[in-house]
Amino acid sequence: MLLLPFLAISQNNTEYGVFENALLKPNPAQITQFEKGITAHNKKYHSDGPYGVRVYWISNGPNTGNYVWVMGPFPWSSLDSRPAQKEGHDADWNTNVAPYMLNDSGAQTYWRSHPELSRFPKDFTIKNMSVDYWDIKRGKYEDAMKLVKKVHDVYAEKSPTDIYGIYTNEFGSTKEGRDLAVISFFDKSAWLGQDNSIAKKYDEMKGAGSWAQFIKDWMDVTNGGETEIWIFRPDLSGINGDVKVAN
């Protein structure tokens, strides 16, 4: 889930960037072994290119204490040549990582990045992320994305330096309820308590009362959402947190 829309694909190529997110739940009694094994695995098999991996630690909610293993971005076509049996990739995972995880680990999701709705105005280094998941009502996807575009336009005009990404679940389900992810990047925890004044900015740009109408419209197309805070763990990752948007 992870999650950044940067991929060196030709402008003439119709493919798009996708991230593979795996929720990993280590055995509480074997966290040291788990971290040692996943670090070595990522450094050896996921240190560059479309198979580069970042690892995050979840600090709140039902998944507190678990990890998110994020590979990408990559075009779908690259999965056909992903590391598997090559150079012992699968054997290494099964021997040095999997034994230290709980049995219900490994749930995977695939997220499509939407750079046209995201804001990455400058190079930055990932540290912390606020991941807002939204459950879109059946048949309301297009309406929801139109509303996302409205907020994007306000941020582009009123908060041009803010950094966030928009992603949609390629294989969403009504049971899981995670169809849309809005990821905000921040360095200091104080950011979580700041007022971004989106209501004021929205009304300034769209007219008085527009934000209240937006909230009503948003409630009409969604069933609710949830937020997780992810902490980037460069020590466990195959690649660093540097994001070069110039490319």
pLDDT band at 105, cuts 50/70/90?
confident
- The span from the CA of 216 to the CA of 48, in Å, is 44
What pLDDT does residue 11 have? 43
Average pLDDT along the chain:
92
Question: Which of 196, 202, 201 has the alpha carbon at shortest distance from 163?
Answer: 196
Which residues fall within 8 angstroms of residue 111, CB to CB, at 6 or more apart? 1, 2, 3, 18, 19, 21, 167, 168, 169, 170, 181
What pLDDT does residue 174 have? 87
Residues 25 and 102 in one domain: yes
pLDDT band at 3, cuts 50/70/90?
very low
Q: Are 238 and 83 in contact (CB under 8 A)?
A: no
CATH number at residue 156: 3.30.70.100
- The span from the CA of 7 to the CA of 94, in Å, is 29
Domain range for residue 191?
Answer: 124-229
Residue 87 has pLDDT above 90, yes or no: no
pTM: 0.91
Residues 128 and 176 in one domain: yes
What number is the average pLDDT over the span 60-85? 91
| pLDDT tens-digit map of 34-55 | 999 999 999 999 999 899 999 9
Give the count of domains, the chain: 2
